[in-house]
C-alpha cells in the first residue's frame, strides 16, 4: 500500500499496539513518517510490533507509568485501541476485563485531557443490539459502553477532544485472532469438517486497511467529537460468506450447519447504528479482501 501523507504533527501514542488493528495502524503511521510511540504491557512484549520505527514502551504498572509516559511524551493524538475481548465471560474474567477495558482507558483519557492530546478510541457494534443506542450483547460490550461514558465525562468537563470509532467485524492479513474469515480459509485449505451454528446470523466485515483509514481520518478531522461508524455496510449471512469463500478459493467447505449452538444476541436483521456523517468509505471489497488473504496464504505454503 502506498504511504499516503498523514497530517499529524508531533508524536502519536497507540495503546493496544500489538493487537490486530494496532499493528496495522502503527505500520501505516510509521510509513507515513509519523513519530509513533506504543504502550504495550510488559507481559505482551513477546508479540513484536512489525514497524521498526515505532518506539515501544513496556508498561508494568499502568497506574504509575501511563500518566507519567503521556505527561513526558505530550502526544498530539492518542489512539486508544487496547481492549480485552470475550464473546462470553465467566466470573473469573471480570477483574481483568474491567481493568483492561475501563481502568486503563480511564487513566489514558485522564492523561490525554491533562496534556491536551486528542483521543481516538474504538467502541463496538456489540453495544447496539438491534440497533439500539445502548443494548449490550455481552459483558465485553457493557465494559466498552462504560468506557464511552467515562470518556464523555472528560470530554464534557475537562476539554478532552475525543472521537469514537464504532467497529463492526474486521478482518485482514496478519490476524492472530483466529476469527471467522481466518477459520473459513483454514478449512478451505485443509478440507477438514467445520461445525457451525445455523449460519443465519449476519456479519459486516471491514478490511483492516479501511479501519486504519477511518482511525487516521478521525484523528485528523478538523473538529473532533461524535461517533463514526466503521462498517462495510453490506452485511451478509455466514452462509453467504461461506459461499463467497468457496467461490474465491475454488474449494468446497465441509460446513456442518446447526451442529454448534448460536450465541445470544447475534445480528439476525441488520442493525442501524447512528453515527456522524464522515467522508470515510470502505475501499476494499469483501471479495477482493478474501482473495488477497487466500493468495497470500497459498503463496506462503509454496
Residue 25, exposed/middle/buried by CB under 10 A (0-12, 13-18, 19+)? buried
- One residue of 31, 41, 56, 67 binding its own copies per CB under 8 A: 67
The dihedral sign for the CA sequence 280, 284, 289, 292: negative
Among 33, 47, 55, 99, binds its own copies (CB under 8 A): 99
Per CB under 8 A, contacts with its own copies among 143-172 are: 143, 145-147, 149-150, 152-153, 156-157
In the complex, least distance from residue 99 CB atom to its own copies, rounded to whole angstroms? 8
257, burial (CB in 10 Å: exposed 0-12, middle 13-18, buried 19+): middle
152 Cβ partners below 8 Å, 6+ apart? none
Q: Give the residue from 75, 100, 72, 66 showing the smallest Cα distance to 86.
A: 100
Among 82, 110, 118, 196, binds its own copies (CB under 8 A): 110
The CB-of-12 to its own copies minimum distance in angstroms stands at 21
Q: How many residues bind its own copies (CB under 8 A)?
A: 36
| Whether 83 contacts 144, CB under 8 Å | yes
Query: In the range 35-64, which residues lie near its own copies by CB under 8 A?
Result: 63
Question: Rounded distance, CA 298 to CA 286, Å?
Answer: 18
Q: How far is CA 300 from the centre of its chain?
A: 25
CB closer to its own copies out of 49 and 107: 107
C-alpha pair distances (Å), 41 with each of 14, 25, 59, 243: 12, 18, 5, 40
Q: Is residue 94 part of the contact set for its own copies (CB under 8 A)?
A: yes
The correct pick among 34, 49, 139, 267 for binding its own copies (CB under 8 A) is 139
265 binds its own copies (CB under 8 A): yes
Q: Which is nearer to its own copies, 129 or 168 (CB)?
A: 129
Considering only 78-86, 141-149, 216-224, 227-235, which stretch makes contact with its own copies by CB under 8 A?
Answer: 141-149
Q: Determine the interface stretch with its own copies among 5-13, 106-114, 222-230, 289-297 (rule: CB under 8 A).
A: 106-114
Closest CA to 110 of 73, 78, 154: 154
Q: Which residues pair with 79 in a beta bridge?
A: 14, 120
Q: Does 102 bind its own copies (CB under 8 A)?
A: yes
**Position 201 contacts its own copies (CB under 8 A):** no
The three cell numbers locating residue 82: 487496547
Binding site for its own copies (CB under 8 A): 63, 67, 91-92, 94-95, 98-99, 102-103, 106-107, 110-111, 114, 129, 134-139, 141-143, 145-147, 149-150, 152-153, 156-157, 264-265
Amino acid at each position: 500500500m502506498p504511504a499516503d501523507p498523514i497530517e499529524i504533527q508531533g508524536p502519536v501514542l497507540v495503546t493496544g499496539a500489538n493487537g490486530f488493528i494496532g499493528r496495522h495502524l502503527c505500520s501505516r503511521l510509521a510509513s507515513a513518517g509519523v513519530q509513533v510511540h506504543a504502550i504495550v504491557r510488559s507481559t505482551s512484549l513477546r508479540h513484536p510490533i512489525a514497524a521498526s520505527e515505532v518506539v515501544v514502551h513496556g508498561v508494568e504498572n499502568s497506574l504509575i507509568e501511563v500518566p507519567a509516559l503521556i505527561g513526558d511524551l505530550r502526544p498530539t493524538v492518542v489512539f486508544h485501541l487496547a481492549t480485552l475481548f470475550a464473546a462470553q465471560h465467566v466470573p473469573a474474567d471480570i477483574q481483568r476485563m474491567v481493568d483492561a477495558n475501563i481502568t486503563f482507558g480511564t487513566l489514558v483519557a485522564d492523561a490525554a485531557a491533562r496534556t491536551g492530546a486528542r483521543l481516538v478510541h474504538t467502541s463496538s457494534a456489540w453495544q447496539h443490539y438491534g440497533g439500539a443506542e445502548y443494548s449490550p450483547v455481552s459483558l465485553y460490550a457493557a465494559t466498552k459502553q462504560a468506557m464511552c461514558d467515562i470518556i464523555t465525562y472528560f470530554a464534557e468537563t475537562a476539554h478532552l477532544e475525543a472521537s469514537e470509532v464504532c467497529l463492526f467485524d474486521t478482518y485482514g492479513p496478519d490476524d492472530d485472532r483466529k476469527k471467522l474469515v481466518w477459520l473459513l480459509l483454514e478449512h478451505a485449505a485443509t478440507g477438514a469438517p467445520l461445525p457451525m451454528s445455523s449460519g443465519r446470523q449476519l456479519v459486516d466485515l471491514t478490511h483492516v486497511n479501511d479501519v486504519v483509514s477511518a482511525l487516521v481520518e478521525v484523528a485528523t478531522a478538523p473538529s473532533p467529537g461524535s461517533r463514526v461508524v466503521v462498517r462495510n455496510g453490506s452485511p451478509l449471512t455466514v452462509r453467504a460468506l461461506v459461499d463467497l469463500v468457496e467461490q474465491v478459493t475454488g474449494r468446497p467447505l465441509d460446513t456442518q450447519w446447526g451442529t454448534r449452538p448460536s450465541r445470544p444476541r447475534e445480528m439476525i436483521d441488520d442493525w442501524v447504528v447512528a453515527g456522524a456523517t464522515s467522508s470515510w468509505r470502505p475501499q476494499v471489497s469483501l471479495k477482493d479482501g478474501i482473495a488477497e488473504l487466500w493468495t497470500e496464504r497459498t503463496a506462503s505454503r509454496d
